Amino acid sequence: MATAIRKILARAPSKLFSFCVKISDTGAVRHGSFKAAVLHELKSPLKIDKFSTKKAKKGEVRINVRACGVNASDIQMSKGEWEKEVKLPFVPGYEICGEVAEVGSGVKDISTGDRVIALNKDKCFGFAEQCSVPAQDVFKIPSSIDFIHGAALAETYSTALLGLSRRAELKEGQVILVTAAAGGLGLAVVDVAANVYKAKVIGVCSNEEKATLVRDRGAWAALTYNPKDMQKTVKEVTNGKGVSVVFDTVGGEIFEESIKCAGHESKVVIAGFASHKVPKIIASTLLSSSISLLGVSLAHYREVDPDVYREIVLDAIDMCEQGLLKPFISSTVSLEDINKAIDMISQRKSTGKVIIKMS
């Protein structure tokens, strides 16, 4: 996988984006107390509380958080709908970008002041001005990647790269169908497939406004979800052959209809069930076109193959640095307005990523 991605990077323009770091970007290390958005009761609004700064433990890195992505899983945790039980009080948020305030003992290759991305899925605590993260989940970033886009990069783009490169082995010119194409992960898949792999992307969205955004982000075609229209468009684009890859994050009815668009020896990547409905797959459906069904989970790779996990996140950072991809940010809000961000995502009013920016 890494070799294939390096080949893509080699074909990219050699000139990298270069920016000067403003003095205000370096920030001073915060001491004393800091603010965090805390869940005290399931299904209730988060409240802003103050915490005392604690020293970084062995193997950890304490980060001055500048921005944090808001994800659907944060909301599921807050509602008690997550697969793991949440112990209250609880601070959600795990997709973090900021500067290193302190390095715990035993940590190598990370220094105070480094600009970093971190994925703190085990402990969360990203909706806060400070957060301690295991060093294995911390990745240095260059000054050309700002904090806002850094907080929207690692989770979705790494998952997209895993699904498209390692699992589906997407090739230039192939046709790929992407469900929920205007969501955070969906737009990342569209971006990587269309602009890095030069594949022909068909995006499926919930309304025309989102479909327009998906086309603007590189999709060859984008349509509002309708089984008949989707199958008709796929037949026209592929001359009746069906798509080479389906990338689904929704599940339920949309998955069941999408798999009907899969062609001979196609690959169907499952990256989540946003509909909360796990579809029942009839084996004969796979046999009819020799379809391969593939699952992808960044969290799984972190547990069983940490080298690939770190490699894929670093690949996403490299591609962003070279200007090959860029996360789409629909809204940026303050920590004090965290509940507005949660409502925005819960009501499906957002596209791409919603980011919390710390003051």
Could you give the count of Cα atoms lying within 13 Å of 101 in the half-sphere of its Cβ? 24
pLDDT at 28 over 80: no
* pLDDT given at position 18: 34
User: Do 133 and 204 fall into the same domain?
Assistant: no
* pLDDT given at position 15: 39
- Over residues 36-93, the pLDDT tens digits come to 999 999 999 999 999 999 999 999 999 999 999 999 889 988 888 887 788 999 999 9
What percent of the chain has a predicted confidence (pLDDT) above 90?
75
Is 114 part of a structural domain of the chain? yes
User: Do 144 and 224 fall into the same domain?
Assistant: no
| Final residue of a structural domain among 258, 279, 299 | 299
The residues with which 117 forms a beta bridge, in sequence order, are 97, 139
Is 316 part of a structural domain of the chain? no
Give the span between the Cα atoms of 74 and 76, in whole angstroms.
5
- Strand 292-295 and strand 221-224: the pairing is unpaired
Is 322 part of a structural domain of the chain? no
Contacts (Cβ under 8 Å, ≥6 apart) of 127: 36, 37, 46, 68, 74, 91, 92, 93, 335, 338, 356
The answer to whether 167 and 298 have CB atoms below 8 angstroms apart is no
pLDDT at 141 over 70: yes
The answer to whether 325 and 319 have CB atoms below 8 angstroms apart is yes
Q: What is the CATH number of the domain that holds 139?
A: 3.90.180.10
pLDDT at 29 over 60: no
Is 305 part of a structural domain of the chain? no
User: Do 113 and 214 fall into the same domain?
Assistant: no
- Over residues 289-338, the pLDDT tens digits come to 789 999 999 999 999 999 999 999 999 999 999 999 999 999 999 999 99
More confident residue, 272 or 98: 98
User: Do 194 and 242 fall into the same domain?
Assistant: yes
pLDDT at 282 over 60: yes
User: Do 273 and 226 fall into the same domain?
Assistant: yes
Location of structure tokens 């709908």: 81
Span 262-280, average pLDDT: 87
* pLDDT given at position 8: 60
CA torsion through residues 269, 271, 277, 283, sign: positive
pLDDT at 12 over 90: no
Is 97 part of a structural domain of the chain? yes
pLDDT at 23 over 90: no
Q: How confident is the model at residue 7 (pLDDT cuts 50, 70, 90)?
A: low
Number of independent structural domains in the chain = 2
In which domain, by residue range, is 353 found? 11-153+327-357
- Over residues 123-134, the pLDDT tens digits come to 999 999 999 999
pLDDT at 21 over 50: no
pLDDT at 247 over 80: yes
User: Do 284 and 345 fall into the same domain?
Assistant: no
| Final residue of a structural domain among 281, 299, 317 | 299
pLDDT at 11 over 60: no
User: Do 295 and 350 fall into the same domain?
Assistant: no
Contacts (Cβ under 8 Å, ≥6 apart) of 148: 67, 97, 329, 332, 355, 357
User: Do 148 and 160 fall into the same domain?
Assistant: no
- Report the run of H or E that residue 34 belongs to, with start and end: strand 33-38
pLDDT at 275 over 80: no
The residues with which 222 forms a beta bridge, in sequence order, are 203
* pLDDT given at position 237: 85
* pLDDT given at position 129: 98
